[in-house]
A and B are shown apart, each in its own frame.
Chain A
Amino acid sequence: MPVVILIPGPLRPFAEGRDRVTLERTPDTVGDALAELAARYPGVRDRVVTERGEIRPHVNVFVGEDNVRDASGLATRVPRECEIAILPAVSGG
């Protein structure tokens, strides 16, 4: 299984409606994975990270079951085969 990024519903309009995007190359890090995603779907990345390239405060990115906030953020290493999930945090009002 290659590296697959799971796209949350609110961002699928910016990914041609896809709920998962399979990356063509194996990225080294989560940042690399998002960069490859941005090359195809820039609207997704701009809503996951800020202008400063930081993951938005109420968005979580998981590699497998591990939240990258608890690892090395965008520098978190990515296995050769895995799912990277973009999920909105349980925040709101």
Chain B
Amino acid sequence: MPAKKLKPPPPISPRDGDVLLLVGTMKGLFLLHADRARRTYRMSGPHFPGRSVYAAAFDARAGRRRIWAAPSSMHWGAELCWSDDFGGTWTRPEAPRVRFPDASGATLKNIWQISPGLADEPDALFCGVEPSALFESRDAGESWSLNQGLWNHPHRAKWQPGGGGLCLHTVLVDPKRPGRMVVATSTGGAYRTDDGGRSWHVKNRGVRAEFMPDPYPEFGQCVHKIAQNAAQPDRLFLQNHWGLYRSDDGGDSWTDVANGVPSDFGFGLAGHPRDPDTAFVVPLHSDEFRCTPEGKLRVYRTRNAGRSWQAMTRGLPQKGALETVVRDAMAVDSLDPAGVYFGTRSGRLYASRDEGGSWRLVADGLPPIVCVKTGIAANVGSRRGAAKPKAKKRAARSRTGAPAKGRRRKRTVRRAA
């Protein structure tokens, strides 16, 4: 029996200032929005049903309201797509634009990170991909090029794939020092450029690698995620494959700050949008048992730059919750107080609107969540339904393969108690 065609989900209809959540899963992308109070979320999805979405980003620079997403098909490969109407229609370039040049001898396996550049470079975009490499665009994604400085780094040939593959999963553009960027690859570790990507320097000093003969090698660390503070960009937190670290000098040196966490193994990590001393992690038991310790789902928060961490549990299950939060499945928004969000491999999406003090289950029953990104809606205006598809947009959808017919169904995410 042939499969029924899937109806495309409706777009979301945020207003300016609403919080956006871009939730990538193993089976598609889900879009959510809520007003600044963040009590009720509306959700749309799955977009790109059946495809894994490890990377997404919202770009409001230069008057845009663009959602980037990187759906990947086991069969047909990975591609970079975008929507300018909050998921009503998606543009899929005929020829995928992020692709390795012939001379590289490499083949794109997945896109792990989409990072818009700075506000004063509104057409700059970066992608971290698998196999580990950095792509950059200077024309708002029209064309992409492989960063040759990192690709030709002498360490690259010795980088080894971790459990997720050999991926470049972290791209941090320094908002205060032009030309500075930190990236992280697993395995390989952290690398930094100070000259706009022409040269890269390894930044793993103090980060251990328990799976290597030398526990403190120059490179080869399995860095799982790095978070940067926007107000003080030299302040970095790093969740390692064993090890939780802080840097106060842009990665030149790292200090172990696993003070009071039940395990220093984990993936999920997020910094605070303003306070450089605040960060959030979700520790996991161990590399052999990648689940939350003791069946308790706990976010640990530091308010003092890692000198101590407190378990934030209000609203989170503390019994039988053997959950896994992967490297890109945790994020913060930029509101005050900051919202904190994370998704689990079991398809649960949690949100806090008080910097981790309390949590709500926002969505349940999603496919395994691999990516949570936030944004603040802009360039929409206050008009409700601004993104509703019209005839022209339906035609565009038809060009991209999604069925144009069908009643549109709005799905409201239930409000957790």
Q: Does B37 contact A (CB under 8 A)?
A: no
**Binding site secondary structure of chain A:** mixed
Knowing A42-B94, A42-B95, A51-B102, say if A12 contacts B401 (CB, 8 Å).
yes
Q: Which of A14, A51, A59 has the most CB of B within 10 A?
A: A51
Asked if A50 and B77 sit within 8 Å, CB to CB, the answer is: yes
CA distance A92 to B106 in the complex (A): 23
Q: Does B39 contact A (CB under 8 A)?
A: no
Q: Does B399 contact A (CB under 8 A)?
A: yes
List, in ascending order, chain A residues with CB within 8 A of B92's CB.
Answer: 13
Q: Does A88 contact B (CB under 8 A)?
A: yes
Knowing A43-B94, A52-B105, say if A92 contacts B400 (CB, 8 Å).
no
Knowing A13-B399, A14-B94, A43-B95, say if A51 contacts B75 (CB, 8 Å).
no
Knowing A43-B95, A46-B96, A51-B108, say if A10 contacts B76 (CB, 8 Å).
yes
Q: Does A69 contact B (CB under 8 A)?
A: no
CA distance A86 to B375 in the complex (A): 39
Interface size class of B (residues with CB under 8 A): 20 to 34
How many CB-defined contacts (below 8 Å) exist between A and B?
54
CA distance A13 to B94 in the complex (A): 9
Asked if B95 and A89 sit within 8 Å, CB to CB, the answer is: no
CA distance A92 to B108 in the complex (A): 18
Q: Which of B103-119 contact A (CB under 8 A)?
A: 105-108
Q: Does B73 contact A (CB under 8 A)?
A: yes
Asked if B77 and A56 sit within 8 Å, CB to CB, the answer is: yes
CA distance A56 to B77 in the complex (A): 8
**Binding site secondary structure of chain B:** loop
List, in ascending order, chain B residues with CB within 8 A of A13's CB.
Answer: 92, 399-401
CB-CB nearest in chain B for A53: B102
CB-CB nearest in chain A for B102: A51
Q: Does B144 contact A (CB under 8 A)?
A: no
Q: Does B190 contact A (CB under 8 A)?
A: no
CB-CB nearest in chain B for A89: B75
Q: A13-B399, A51-B101 are in contact. List 11 more A-B contacts (CB 8 A).
A: A10-B75, A13-B400, A13-B401, A46-B77, A46-B94, A50-B108, A51-B99, A54-B107, A56-B77, A58-B74, A59-B75
List 16 contacting pairs A-B, 8 Å CB cutoff, sorted by A: A10-B401, A46-B77, A46-B94, A46-B96, A47-B75, A47-B76, A48-B76, A51-B99, A51-B102, A51-B108, A56-B75, A56-B76, A58-B75, A59-B75, A59-B76, A88-B76
Which 3 A-B residue pairs are closest in the complex by CB-CB distance? A13-B401, A43-B94, A47-B76
